[in-house]
A and B are shown apart, each in its own frame.
Chain A
Amino acid sequence: MHDVAPARFAPGDRVRVHNVDPDHHTRAPRYVRGHQGVVVDSQGEWPLADDLARALDPRVEPVYTVRFAARDLWGDGVHTVSVDLWQSYLEAVTEHG
C-alpha cells in the first residue's frame, strides 16, 4: 500500500495539466493537457485510475475539480469546462506562467 499523497493544491489555485501522452489508460482527457485552469473543488483521495487499469498497487492521491475557460482550451467560446483530475496530472502555475 502506498501512502496517501499530501494535498498540494486548494480551491483558487491556478494549475496546468501535464502535457504528456502516456501509453496506458489515464483520466486526463487529451483536450486539457498542457492547458491552465483553476482548482474549484477538492474531492478527497482516490486510487489513481492509471494504476488500477494496469493492475498495479494504486497510488492514492487527492482529486480536484479544475475549471477551464473555453477560450483557453479552444481559442474562443465563453463557456467553462470543469474536469476532475488526479493530483499527479497537475503542476502549479507560477507567477511567470
Chain B
Amino acid sequence: MGETHASTPVAARVRRLEERLIEAGLVSDPELDEVLARYLAGASPLNGARMVARAWTDDDFRSRLLADANSVITELGLSMRSGLREQPLKVVANTPGRHNVIVCTLCSCYPTGLLGPSPSWYKSEAYRSRVVREPRAVLGEFGLTLPDDAEIMVWDSSSERRYLVLPVRPAGTDGMSEDDLVGLVTREGMIGTAAV
C-alpha cells in the first residue's frame, strides 16, 4: 500500500487519456481543471463530521438521518448531488455491539462530498479484497480492536448508493458542544476503519 497515487498504473493511464483528449481538441487542460475544481470544491471530511456531531446531539436528526439521509443533510447545507442524478446516501450506525465498515471492491466509490478525496489505501487492492474476507484482521491492522463478540457488517458500494458510517459517540464527551464534537470525527471513523 506504499505507492503514491501519482505512480500508480491507473494514474499513468489517466494522464495518457488526458493527453489524447487534449491533442484531439476535445477538451483543454483549463477545462479539465475547472471540472475537477468544481467537483472537489467543498468536498471535505468536515462535512461528514458535522453530520455525525449533529446526529450525536440530536436524536430526532439521528433517526431521520438513518431513515433518509439525502433529505436530511440539506439541513446542514450538504448535498449528494454531483452528477446528473443525486446519489443516494445510506448512513449505517455503529452500536457498542455492532461495527460497520465500507468498501468498494470494484473500484473506490465512497461519498466524496462528505469525506473528501479517498485515501490511497481505500483504493488499494489489498484493502478492497481483504476487508470483505477478513474484516476483523484488517481493522486490527488499522489499530482498531473490536470486542470478540462484536458483530461486523461490511458494506460493498457496488451500485450508485454511497455509504457512510455513523460512529459511536465516545465516552466522556457529554459536556462537549456540537462544534467541539465535530473535531473528534475522522474520515477513517466514517469509513469504519477507526472507532471515531
A and B form one complex:
yes
Interface size of B by Cβ–Cβ distance < 8 Å? 20
Bound form: Cα–Cα A83–B153 in Å: 11
- B residues in contact with A27, CB < 8 Å: 106, 158-159
> A70–B159 Cα gap in the complex (Å)?
20
Contacting pair A31 B154 (CB below 8 A): no
Q: How far is the CB of B195 from chain A (nearest CB, A)?
A: 17
Kindly state whether residue A29 has any CB partner on chain B within 8 Å. yes
Please indicate the chain A residues that have their CB under 8 angstroms from the CB of B135 in the complex: 79
Given contacts A29-B105, A29-B106, contact A79 B154 (CB under 8 A): yes
**A63 to B156 alpha-carbon distance, docked (Å):** 14
List chain A residues, Cβ under 8 A from B90. 41
Bound CA span A65–B136, Å: 22
Kindly list chain A residues whose C-beta atoms are within 8 Å of the C-beta of B134.
77
**Residues A85 and B158 in contact, CB atoms below 8 Å apart:** yes
CA distance A79 to B192 in the complex (A): 14
Q: How far, in Å, is A78 (CB) from chain B's closest CB?
A: 8
Q: A27-B106, A77-B134, A79-B135 are in contact. Are A84 and B157 (CB under 8 A)?
A: yes
Q: How many residues of A contact B (CB 8 A)?
A: 24
User: Which residues on A sit within 8 Å (CB–CB) of B160?
Assistant: 46, 63
Is B136 a contact partner of A84 (Cβ separation < 8 A)? Answer: no
* Chain A 47-80 per-residue mask, 1 if CB under 8 angstroms from chain B, else 0: 0010000000000000101000010011001111
Inside 8 A of A79's CB, which chain B residues have their CB?
A: 135-136, 151-154
Interface flag for B88 (CB, 8 Å): yes
Q: Is the interface of B mostly helix, strand, loop or mixed?
A: loop
Interface string of A7-33 (1 = CB under 8 A from B): 000000000000000000001110100
B100 to chain A, nearest CB (A): 9
Tell me the bound Cα distance from A43 to B158 in angstroms: 12
| Measured CA separation A31–B161 after assembly (Å) | 19
Point out the residues of chain A lying under 8 angstroms from B132, CB to CB. Answer: 31, 73, 81
Determine if A29 and B159 form an interchain contact, defined as CB atoms under 8 angstroms apart.
Answer: no
A contact residues around B127 at 8 Å (CB): none
Contact between B161 and A81 (Cβ–Cβ < 8 Å)?
Answer: no
Q: Does A88 contact B (CB under 8 A)?
A: no
**Residues A74 and B161 in contact in the complex (CB < 8 Å), given A80-B153, A82-B154:** no
B interface list, Cβ under 8 A from A = 88, 90, 105-106, 132-136, 151-161
7 contacts between A and B (CB under 8 A): A29-B158, A31-B132, A44-B88, A63-B159, A77-B133, A80-B151, A82-B155
